[in-house]
Amino acid sequence: MAGTDGIRVRRVYEERDTDGGTRVLVDRLWPRGMSKSALHLDEWCKEVAPSTELRTWYQHDPDRFSEFARRYRGELADPEHADAVAHLRELAGSGRLTLLTATKDTEISAAAVLADLLRT
């Protein structure tokens, strides 16, 4: 059992890592220019993506990241997301989990917030 320390965040545009384990796209929108076969995706879990309103407000502005993370965690705590979050926790508990995102800066992405949440 790998545990939650095996959770990684990667850009969909990076070359596929052969030891990436289960690869799950966690963006609401499909990445531009990517075919399903090129992505080597196991699942697309758009249910855990931030709401359109939150994503639009955030605009990946580094100065807004702390507030974005707080609001996004609030969205993920909503019961409507419980099954999807529990499923990702289960995947993380059974082996390496790679959360995929199209975001340029993964350190201030929704995927990073989600990975942090899954590790706790």
Reported pTM: 0.92
Provide the residue ranges of all domains of the chain, joining segments of one domain with +: 4-119
Please tell me the predicted confidence (pLDDT) of residue 1: 35
pLDDT for residue 45 is more than 70: yes
28: number of Cβ within 10 Å = 15
Q: What is the mean pLDDT of residues 69-85?
A: 96
Please tell me the predicted confidence (pLDDT) of residue 2: 43
For 14-33, the pLDDT digits (tens) are: 988 777 699 999 999 999 99
The strand ranges marked E within the chain are 7-11, 22-25, 43-44, 97-101
Q: Report residue 117: phi and psi, to 5°.
A: -60, -45
